[in-house]
Amino acid sequence: MVKLVNRIVTVSRTPVFFGKEVFPAFDRLVKSMRPSGIFILVDSNTREKCLPVLMRKTAALATAQVMEVTGGEAAKSLACAEKLWNDLLQAGAGRSSLVINLGGGVISDLGGFVAAGYNRGIKYINIPTSLMGQADAAIGGKTAVNLGNIKNQVGFFHSAAAIFIFPEFLKTLPGEHLRSGFAEIIKSILVSDGSLWRRLQKRPVSLMMSQSVESATWQDLILAAITFKNKVVVKDYREVKLRKVLNFGHTFGHAFESAMMNSKGPILHGEAVAAGMICAAWLSHLKTGLSRADLDAITKYIDEGYSRVHVDPASFSMLMEIMMHDKKMKGGQLQFTLLSKPGLPVTGVLCSREEIREAIDFYNTTLSG
Ligand SMILES: NC(=O)c1ccc[n+]([C@@H]2O[C@H](COP(=O)([O-])OP(=O)(O)OC[C@H]3O[C@@H](n4cnc5c(N)ncnc54)[C@H](O)[C@@H]3O)[C@@H](O)[C@H]2O)c1
């Protein structure tokens, strides 16, 4: 059930609080949990920009200890998780300790993973501070670290005790990360709401980037993404079927992101997803009846907001190998989430190697005009 009271959303599995007034509810919840110790996980940026705000606005964290990791995708590693497990052990953390993840998707994925493994699972709360985190990553109980350059290869389903979304944190988020997070909002709209997609096209990414994150348009879009993700996760927590709709653009996106992770020019998750959505839109045109006009509209909208990623055609075999690790195989073929039209996703569409190559060729050669 989704209940909306003063823009606070609650769902049955994990309550999600959204808005300027989330912290009194946070204090009440933490107090009621009676944790034996509280550990706040931050990266260097969220320590500087968000932790002071959190400490000012809450009372329940006065005795909490802070654990800091160097930010960025590299922190989503087993080595980093092991270091945090050791830190928890040294600090005497036990079954009733509480982890607070204060940061973007890297911190919620890593901190959730650490909480899931420590003492076979301790409680944690997500306070997402990036757009990617607020609109997507902090919600849904998927936690993971990367294995080598394979994204999210090792992870657990382990739900947060609650999620507190304080939109003001976005005011200090660097522009490139706001743009990256916006790709997940585009995805969420493309797979959920055709009429919102038509309205979004009147608001190009560059226009959105120039508007205050506190504007009603921004708040409505973030809330729409949160509400949609909640709805999906409540119905299909373990991604048996429905949750796969959230993977639109991600099989390609993860492959691009993984392929470039160790290169000189790593790309942000959202940039990779934006590129992946153009490839998936092409496959949708080929396989599931997405019209040429819709394909062109999606390509044009994404091109206006995101630079094209350089996908080297010579790296196709490596990309295929990475995609085959992406857990979406059936009978030796890759399965994709595609669209029959905006708002109408189709999951589990089998695509051949040649079709996948065509999609990447489309991305590399067809610039929207
Ligand atoms: N678990 C899921 O369901 C899920 C869904 C989508 C994405 N993800 C994961 O999320 C990760 C990407 O998340 P991200 O884009 O938030 O990356 P991130 O956590 O690295 O944050 C982006 C950057 O912004 C900084 N930052 C965050 N909040 C800030 C703030 N308020 N002010 C100033 N700086 C701030 C961080 O320090 C970092 O440098 C990827 O690893 C991706 O796989 C997970």
Using the mean position of ligand 1's atoms as its centre, give its distance from the Cα of residue 88 in Å: 23
Using the mean position of ligand 1's atoms as its centre, give its distance from the Cα of residue 191 in Å: 22
* 8 has a pLDDT exceeding 60: no
Mean pLDDT over 313-340 rounds to 87
pLDDT band at 11 (very low <50, low <70, confident <90, very high): very low
Per-residue pLDDT at 1? 37
Mean pLDDT over 88-117 rounds to 98
Q: In this predicted model, which residue has the larger pLDDT, 85 or 261?
A: 85
Per-residue pLDDT at 369? 58
**Lining residues, ligand 1, CB within 6 Å:** 43, 45-46, 49-50, 71-73, 76, 103-107, 109, 129-130, 132-133, 136-137, 140, 142, 151-152, 169, 172-173, 177, 180-181, 269
* 10 has a pLDDT exceeding 80: no
Mean pLDDT over 182-191 rounds to 98
* 232-269: pLDDT as tens digits: 999 999 998 999 999 999 999 999 998 887 666 789 99
**Residue nearest (by alpha carbon) to ligand 1 atom 12:** 105
Using the mean position of ligand 1's atoms as its centre, give its distance from the Cα of residue 345 in Å: 26
3-state secondary structure the chain: CCEEECCEEECCCCEEEECCCCHHHHHHHHHHHCCCCEEEEEEHHHHHHCHHHHHHHCCCCCCCEEEEECCCHHHCCHHHHHHHHHHHHHCCCCCCCEEEEEECHHHHHHHHHHHHHHHHCCEEEEEECCHHHHHHHCCCCEEEEEECCEEEEEEEECCCCEEEECHHHHHHCCHHHHHHHHHHHHHHHHHHCHHHHHHHCCCCHHHHHHCCCCCHHHHHHHHHHHHHHHHHHHHCCCCCCHHHHHHCCHHHHHHHHHHHHCCCCCCCHHHHHHHHHHHHHHHHHHHCCCCHHHHHHHHHHHHHHCCCCCCCHHHHHHHHHHHHCCCCEECCEEEEEEEEECCEEEEEEEECHHHHHHHHHHHHHCCCC
Atom of ligand 1 nearest to the CA of 151: 43
Per-residue pLDDT at 149? 82
Per-residue pLDDT at 368? 64
pLDDT band at 4 (very low <50, low <70, confident <90, very high): very low
Per-residue pLDDT at 15? 92
pLDDT band at 313 (very low <50, low <70, confident <90, very high): confident
* 19-30: pLDDT as tens digits: 999 999 999 999
Atom of ligand 1 nearest to the CA of 152: 43
**Residue nearest (by alpha carbon) to ligand 1 atom 5:** 137
Average pLDDT, the chain: 93
Per-residue pLDDT at 183? 98
Q: Which of the residue ranges 6-20, 71-85, 93-107, 151-165 would you say has the lowest mean pLDDT?
A: 6-20
Atom of ligand 1 nearest to the CA of 172: 32
* 191 has a pLDDT exceeding 50: yes
Mean pLDDT over 55-63 rounds to 97
Per-residue pLDDT at 296? 97
Using the mean position of ligand 1's atoms as its centre, give its distance from the Cα of residue 133 in Å: 6
Using the mean position of ligand 1's atoms as its centre, give its distance from the Cα of residue 51 in Å: 16
Per-residue pLDDT at 329? 74
**Residue nearest (by alpha carbon) to ligand 1 atom 34:** 173
pLDDT band at 327 (very low <50, low <70, confident <90, very high): low
Per-residue pLDDT at 54? 98
